Structure 1
């Protein structure tokens, strides 16, 4: 194979050889670097269940109350009607994928027990989502009397003249439509 390429390049005129060589090098460089610059969309699947939601659950709660707290389960099965599964996965470019599983078990219509991974609070989850940019320090919002004096003071409602009142004490406005 290399013998063929060497022979083919020898047969090409000098400017063409440079074009072929430059094209081959550019193709190799672009192929090697392209995986770093491809946009990969964020993939969110399932239901996020927080620690606060789980703390709101109580043994004996009816199914509808559990659904109100946790949302619709991701997986329900006819063969396992007494079990609801909540799964959550998020994959973001530049961050570790997160995956959580949580199951709720019923006896009849009442909540019996719960099982699953350790769940983060909503604040912990939000902080973990925002890990790609460093936190910025908020500026202190202070204005001195001299800073405030630079802006004109708007008149208060007491100093604004009142609209002329119509007979009977109510304010009269012009009609919205012309009289016919």
Structure 2
């Protein structure tokens, strides 16, 4: 009786382990990429400058992931992602403050030597003024031979002369 219970428990445990392995590696099954923590990239770290205050750092990096009660002058940012069954990638950076100004950076990122210039992300396009000859209704009636509409006076456009400026995000 004891031996059969042992084999039954061994068979059950092997079945459960193989099911999880098989289910995790099925082709065509979508696995979610779950990002955890603050998204940190090198461009953000390059914007950090010595003697920046906490408010400026908060604007660039966002709120810290860990708020340590024992170290109020240390902000820790942690980012973790496990893409499509690959190994987990975890990056962290710690910022140290003294007198409400940044004095040190420690972690997986190093600030760049050149000052970072952030582009606005907008471009300006000059759109020329469009001269509307006929309305859509006038064009449709012109196809059927009702050209007497063309003799009617055209309303003046209310837009100012010249070109319009449109800002588009990149």
- Tell me the SS of whatever aligns to 2:70: coil
TM value normalised by structure 2:
0.52
Shift in CA distance, 114/170, structure 1 to aligned 2, threshold 3 Å: closer
Q: What is residue 175 of structure 1 aligned with on the other side?
A: none
Match of 1:110 among 101, 116, 127: 101
Match of 1:33 among 14, 22, 32: 22
Task: State the structure with bigger RCO (CA 8 A, min sep 6), 1 or 2.
Answer: 2
- Tell me the SS of whatever aligns to 2:43: helix
Shift in CA distance, 107/36, structure 1 to aligned 2, threshold 3 Å: same
Match of 2:133 among 154, 160, 169: 160
C-alpha separation between the residues in 1 aligned to 2:131 and 2:44? Answer: 50
Q: What is residue 18 of structure 1 aligned with on the other side?
A: none
Offset at residue 95 of structure 1 (A): 2.7
- Tell me the SS of whatever aligns to 1:33: helix
C-alpha separation between the residues in 2 aligned to 1:80 and 1:164? Answer: 78
Shift in CA distance, 118/65, structure 1 to aligned 2, threshold 3 Å: closer
More strand by share: 2
What are the ranges of 5 or more consecutive residues in structure 1 without an aligned counterpart?
Answer: 5-26, 120-156, 172-180
Does residue 60 of structure 2 align to residue 60 of structure 1?
Answer: no
What are the ranges of 5 or more consecutive residues in structure 2 without an aligned counterpart?
Answer: 5-14, 111-129, 136-151, 159-170
Offset at residue 165 of structure 1 (A): 4.1
More helix by share: 1
C-alpha separation between the residues in 1 aligned to 2:133 and 2:89? Answer: 60
C-alpha separation between the residues in 1 aligned to 2:35 and 2:132? Answer: 57
CA contact (8 A) 2:45 2:109 kept: no
- Cα RMSD (Å) of the superposition? 3.4
Report the count of equivalent residues: 109
Does residue 88 of structure 2 align to residue 97 of structure 1?
Answer: yes
- Tell me the SS of whatever aligns to 2:55: helix
Shift in CA distance, 160/113, structure 1 to aligned 2, threshold 3 Å: same
TM value normalised by structure 1:
0.49
Structure number with bigger Rg = 1
- Tell me the SS of whatever aligns to 1:114: strand
